[in-house]
Structure 1
Amino acid sequence: MPSMPPATTRRPKSRDDFEIAIICALTLEADAVIASFDHHWDEDNGPSFGKARGDPNSYSTGVIGSHNVVLAHLPGMGKVAAGNIAAFCRMSFPNIILALVVGICGGAPLYEDTPIFLGDVIISTGVVQYDFGRRFPDKFEMKDTLSESLGRPNLEIRSLLAKLTTARQRQKMTRASRDFVGRVPDTYPGRSRDILFPAGYRHKHQDSRECTVCASCCTDADTVCSKALKASCEELGCDIKQAVRQIPGNKDEREPSLMIHFGTFASGDTVMKSGKDRDQLIREKNVIGFEMESVGVWEVFPCIVIKSVCDYADSHKNKDWQDYSAVCAAACTKAFLGYWNSTKRIIDAKAEEEELQERILKSLHFPEMNQRRSIVASEAPSTLKWIFGGSRPQTFDSRSSDGGRSDNDSTEAADGSTDQDSDLGEHSDEVGDSHDCYEKRPRVPKHLNVDNHSHEHETFEPSLTEKDGGNFKTWLTSDQLIYWISGKPGSGKSTLMKFLLSDSRTLAALEKWHEDVVIVSHFFWKPGSSMQKSFKGLICSIAYQLLSHDPNLIGYLHDTTATFRKSSPSDWDQDQLCKSLYSYQDQTSQTICIFVDALDEARPGQDTLDTLQFIKSMVSPKTKICVSSRPEPLFKHQFSRYPHLQMHELTRLDIFEYSKANLRQLTILDSQELDLSELAWKVAELAEGIFLWAVLVTQSLVRGLNNGDSEQEIEQRLNDMPKDLMSLYRDILRRSAEDLLIYRKYVSTAINLMRIAFTRKSPFSQVTAFDCMMVMEPDLLERYAVLGDQVPNAELDAKTEVMRKRLNSCCPGILGVIPSSWAVVFTHRSAEEFIFETEEGQRLWQPYRIPRAELLCRSFKAIVAMNRFKSIWDSEDFLKMLYEWDESQEFPPGIYGFFLELTLGSYKKGFISPPPANHDSELGPKDFVGRFMLSAFRCGHRPFVLGTLKTLEPCVSHDTICCILDLICDEWLRLGRPGTLYMIDNIFEQGYNPNWTMRRTNISHPMGSLWFRSLISILKWVIRQRTNHFYELYDMNPRATGIFQTFRRAGAHIAATFPIYLETETPRYRINTFFRPADALGPGSGHSLLGRARFMIIEIDARTLMDYIMSWTHQDTILVGPPTDPGSAAYMKALAFGTPTSRHLYIVESESISARLVKAAEAALKFRGARSISPEDSLKEILNRCDREMADLRSYCGQTKKDYFWQGHRLWSPPV
């Protein structure tokens, strides 16, 4: 699969998902690494990852390349500090598999005859601890035995280092590092500042008159003055002429050119500042760099040291190169991580991507996606070869037609339910207009002579147009982007499209255009479901197939930093899905060929126009599209200028081959006096390219031959055949008259049910043989679907099979049943048009013996029965379908209510399952029926729900109405939909009290009163919109005021108090995280304060919440309702809190302590984001103040390890 820009790295779910740690000893080192982050998780909108209890470290988290990394900040240099930091890091981030010690170091001037310059980067292949060993009286001996020294890197690290040391990879990594360094301005000191002195040349006052201590320093054992230790070479007068290496200032002065070296680091707790000691270690241990932290990390994590040389580890150290070297080390780290792929990370990422891919595929899929293609009749043997320029008979010779069966003929036969709507065409309109399709006609036997159809020619030759039918193969291999296959109804367009998709030569030819091409397709179908004839069905189908081939499409269909929540095509926005496909097509290198069949069967109007626009927008040098349709004016205008062919002008020889094969194979009786080949030619002549006509006529001839018809009777049968499809369908009905007398009621029932199903949306828009059987047996339907009686599945299967056979036999060629799904379908679009648009066809189903209202009821009962039999749809599917069905037509009185009652009854009996649990929902009824009612309300059946709630037990009714009001308030705040406030008023008028406490019910997540819940919802929305700047808050003002007024009119108390809690663990502001009602933390609610490091339980009244809301929206509180309210002053009190260092709950009993905590909490609640607050008053700092207040006040508060209650309601429980 071609490479694509990587999708955004997904945010880790927890600290456990981090695998790479970076450790820096100095702030300047950490600054350089942080600057190399591609994304900072600490600054996005997600919760903080925190750290383990007792971990004193500070961390920064982010993304480098495709890796999530955590940066640990060291409080100082040295192996002890590094070891401690690494150990704590292991505690907080337990799945770290690679630690990188990144920063600056001292370097050897020369390594294996290669000079090392300041700014060059060293990557460790090992580490030796040069200050770890044994001190003898006369010497110091380093420990270097296998058991005493540091272990070598693990196999994965060693393998990667072996790869990176190759010349090619080292060059690539060096180039990548230089590119990043080049983006960091003003850090390069200039090569003239890179000076190497001899190892014995001491860094001291060179003028003996300036310092007597330095003047006395003549041997290695002598010391220099303290001032010299801190002074620069310029200040001390170090003689540049003594330098053994210095690049002139005018050479590459402003052109950084770091190099990368690999070797062993010497690590110790002392800074190496001696040139002679440096050289000795280089000789004895073959080291290349000197640093102080890696030993401490090496023993905790698999470790690699990546450090840049800022000095030569001698006494002439200075800080001129430190900033630049830190940048070089960070740049090399970024380049290095581009090569690192841990096996676990790859496996986990692949599994996660595959899971997401499956979820997106499931959301795009609809049941009928491949149905149309699967039921289109396959090509007959020996047909359609011409499309690829294959050989075929060029003349007809009656001597080769013995009328018998050939052993070489294919045994494949038509199935009777032919839907051969395929189209091929000529090379151009001009060619088609200027040539007859057949210049020479076959000889017609005298005994088959038909008026006006005899010809004098004895041979048949294809015209130039047919010979040019191979222009399609040329199109496949060329850079032309659109191809149009047109043809009359029934000419075989869909069969050709199916053939092209399944034949390997199509892909082989396309790969001559571009390698690795992906073929996708969609078949429109007018008689099918809504998705089968809609533009949305097309784009969902195309997206599904492309995603199945190329997982890179995930990055265009979904922002991978967020949670994917779509579950079906209805969740996709049509325009957004189109834009995603366009973006993918613009940016991908994947080549695509799209086949779209039957454009004329797309829903007329906007769906057809959207489809045409989509085709024009998708074509590009990487995407070509082949379409088929009838030659209607709209499609001629759109496609006639592109390469195309006309199917009905190219299929005469195919029809001959088909008819000849079927006449030979399906004829039971011997017909020695008949020449079947000549009979087949006659069918091909009369068909005029309409393959479906030939199929139906051949079937009629086969029946006549098997009935023992004579030559004259066969001649008469063929003479009497109508010359167009509509007339042919009439003839089919006439010839099936005897069967129709017996089976007409079944056909009529099926067609009337199909008419009803057409008004429903997918997946309820199809009729099955099971439905027909049930409707025809009302007593069985009532017992099975309504009363819930047990009926053996075998009995239902047998009855359905009988119905299938009846429907297949009474109208062959018009109506059929798909065996795999029992779906009743028209064999062809023209058959549907005949049934519904002609007088003869309408007589087949009109008038119907069952009244419309009764048939509607039986139709819906049959759906319920089918769902009980096979369990296909859940309650929400039924409820959505019923709402859309009611919107699309006018039901007779009482029918709509009956459908809902039956759905509820079937739900109670278990015939209809509940929908999958919605984990995103904050509030949901606990009662089984209550959940159905909430779902019904959400799907639009609001009058039904409000009426039914009155008949339920009070606890269930109140439970559900609380959740419904929560839903309505949320809708009002999000959408401001007219009529919402009136609906809330109506609910309260029915006797529901806004002050009724929801905790008295069986609600899954008790949240106080309805009034309190509405205020929490408003505050949540106001703060979210304000902090995210989604829109100006004046849009929210009337919505908040409307809620206030509605609830106040219903008697909501301003002085009502409720407990909430403020959580401060998350630095980023999230109303759902740190401002959640304390009631939500009760036992069994799924929430617990356990493990939440910082929280405060606060008692607050409605007036205070209203004031906060209005302060956010810059309005004064509008008080309406009863003139008297107990209490008018705002009220807020701290009740209890918990801190990071204790699992006790601290009880606030002092008013003064409560006042301090309330003041801190108010600051957090009033925080409005960057637009209105200075940087030093950031939310993180505000929350930290809350933490400090709680920590300071712990000793002044009582403690409890027992359950904590507020007005009889448990707010906190100790850990078990």
Structure 2
Amino acid sequence: MSDPQLYTVGWICAIATESVAARAFLDEEHDGPSHVAQHDNNSYVLGKIGRHNVVIAVLPDGEYGTTSAAVVAQGLIHSFPNVRIGLMVGIGGGTPSSKHDIRLGDVVVSSPHGGKGGVFQYDFSKTIQNVAFQETGFLAQPPMVLRTAISSLKSTYELRGHHLADEVERALKCIKKRKKYARPAPARDKLYKPGAVHPIAANSYDDTCDIAYLVARDDRDEEDDDPAIHYGLIASGNQLMKDTRIRDKLVIDKGVLCFEIEAAGLMNHFPCLIIRGICDYSDSHKNKEWQGFSAMMAAAYARDLLRQIPPNKVEAERPISEALHAIKHKIDRLQQTTAATSADRRTDKIERWLRPPNPSTNANHARKLHHEGTGVWLLEHPVFQDYTTMLDHLAKRNGRLILSFFFDFSDEAKKTVDGMLRSFVLQLYQGETDSARALDASFQAHRDGRDQPSTKALSDTLFTMLAAQEQVVIVLDALDESTSRDELLRWIKDTVSRQGLSPIQLICTSRPERDFQFDMPSLMGEENSLALDKQSVNVDIRSYITAQLSERRDFRDKRLSPEIRDEIQRKVGDGADGMFRWAFCQLDSLARCRHEAAIVDALASLPPDLAVTYRRMIESIPTELKIDAMRLLQFLVHVERPLTLAEAKEVIATQIENEPRRFDVKRRLYRDADVLDYCPSLVTIVHATDDELHLAHFSVKEYLLRENKFNIINASSSITSTCLTYLTDIKGSHPGIKQDFPMARCAAEIWTRYAVFAQASKDVARAIVNFLENEETFQRWACLYQPDRAWDRDPGLPRGSQLYYVCYEGLVEPARGLIAQGADVVARGGECGNALQAASLRGHQEIIRLLLNKGADVNAQGGLFGNALQAASWKGYQDIVVLLLKKGADVNAQGGEYGNALQAASWKGHQEIVVLLLNKGADMNAQGGFFGNALQAASWKGYQDIVVLLLKKGADVNAQCGEFGNALQAASSEGHQEIVILLLNKGADVNAQCGFFGNALQAASWKGY
């Protein structure tokens, strides 16, 4: 099998005819690729032309247009990351004119013309006569090395002529069905006058069109190349051009030589040259007679062109994958703050004063969840392309002029205009622009931050700061998740109409809700108010469903029949109607089905909308969990902030349904993740500084608020009763309110908001007052709510090891205080071994820096994970891994359950960290821990990309060690068939005896694989 890294030229074809022609001109054909990217569904032909290794990809059968081309191109560059130049080679419609004698079989090569890079994108509403076109995008030029080669080849053809027709004749010998690809008789090349319309029902234009409509043309003479090569502008859209009037208008106005339907999907994401053999004249007289020969001519020219280019010129080009990465960063810039946090103490004071929400957390979460290969249609949208062109322009002048904010229903600070304004003024301030003085003045006016600014004061400050900018882009995402919509719309109106501001470009996104559908077009302009294309979204949803059926263990282990898989893809994919949340919920429900009959029944009665979906989810909650689940959902609908997982577990452990009401410590869940069993698909765990429980989607909250048991009157009674029971019980049973009761403060917050609805008795209210009287003491030690009881229970911890728990919780200021009081930063003990390992496991980077600066041993051994590097690698905290390595962590240190850092990262599937550790000298064959080595860990968990990487780096495929004996047995025991095949192809011994199961056959047989 061929190594994808060896191929530097990417060649894309739209149809099988073009692919056959391309293969016929390969000097040699290679074996297929050894592996491709995980979500790449393309098929490839590999070979060589001259001294270049070429990969040929063809669009899926029956799929055409810019979107399909872009998806194929993305798959190609993910699977062949070293591809540096691209070609789109195939057929197109010619545009004959008095200036250009274009005939069937000729070749058109994209070349700059009229200020365009060789290809421009247009669109038109219909493909019949008498309709208008609209130019919708400016597309990038092909790489310089290709343009230089074109110039060289063009001069050669001028001097000596070309011999492409002869090359086609020789190449035909490689094709069995060569008649389709041979040149038709010259009499079969007929050009009709623009007014001639070919009837749709006719099979060919010869039997229907009057000969009077034919255009008379002289034969080409001996000085003319025949077929001829033309250089100029190619027009690309998503539908075939069949209208001669529009065709001729574009010829006159733009100088177009050819029409086609794929290039626009490539040029800005796959920099390439477009080469088209002319098979028709872009009119209604379509036939396929010339397609084969025209494809052969285009391929012949492409081969001549590649032979002009020295390999070192190609190697000097940047890989296209890097270019695509740069394009994706344009989207990232819409979702990121535009300046790094300044270390200046005054900036820190300003930030502490404003306490603004951080929009980057939403952007990072979105990138983490993004399904590879989706969203391509958005990149191609003409308005988006114009927008990114403008961003490029701004970036060259000043990269700090993009402000972004993400409204988020699950984050109190991100629901309001006030939070948005605080974020914007800090973003501008951190940009170190001249406008920073306005915020400094506001800070001083508010008694150096002792007073908080009003929303109006923040808005006035922001407008003052914006007035000092030359041009600003403001991105507002998810307007519908704002709880202050009227105020937000007033602010937008004020912004777009305010005098004295430099140009402000505003981009907003929202669900199509009435407020915004009614007001936004009048504010932004009808032409700037766009609806997402549901069909394009549905394509992305189907891609996601296909991947889930292949990758999600709940489906993979069921070994679904092809018929069931097809039914799921059809019913869930086609039924989504552009709503990903609906499709996600149906997949989640199907994944929990225990047998095929249940899946069939579920597919037969899919809910029509989200409301019915959520009702069924609630009905499906097990009876023994339902009471607690309802109460937990009530909390999540109405609390001012998300619940921490520790608080959620306290809610469940508090019993108010039966007498006596009490808080039962023994009903605390063992594992945080078990909270999700109470409300599957309705809630989710978000990993932030602390793990938090949120409603899974804002539509969940909308639905629950419409249900009687979740309205404010009914829910507040239950919430308040829970809080009062909790506070009263811990006050009476646990004098002094021990710090291991995490919901104590939360309960007080909620009670003060909802007590009025509960009509609590004076006696119970007095208990709350008593609690609040101790608030100062409670606040001082609330950060240590885990320790006291834990220290007593854990004999492995020395007395006074509060520092361990503070570091585990990520509490920076208490950690500093304890260290200042003499806490031992190198003390050992506890499940995590020491404070540094605890902080590394939880991802608390600031605490890690503090501990290391205070003398913590970066290589200290002990605990479940052995050392800090292994803990961070297991959790996937790449920044912390980099920090620990920089501070001297031993990349090959052994210890703990997982053996070493490389094995821990491989077991959890953190490929970026695996690569990082290998680059820092990690021994991929090091043995130790439960799994024995990294290859066995990755094989057992099914991380094929990591298995491929380790084998490529020299991992021993037959190494014997660990619980499962070897990698083949580990993969066989979990049914990872692709990895089993890969290991066998790499020489794994199928009969090796070792490990828990004895051999691979026994391992696979044990679970029925």
Normalization by structure 2: what TM-score? Answer: 0.37
Bigger Rg, which one: 1
Give the number of the structure with larger relative contact order, counting CA–CA contacts within 8 Å between residues 6 or more apart: 1
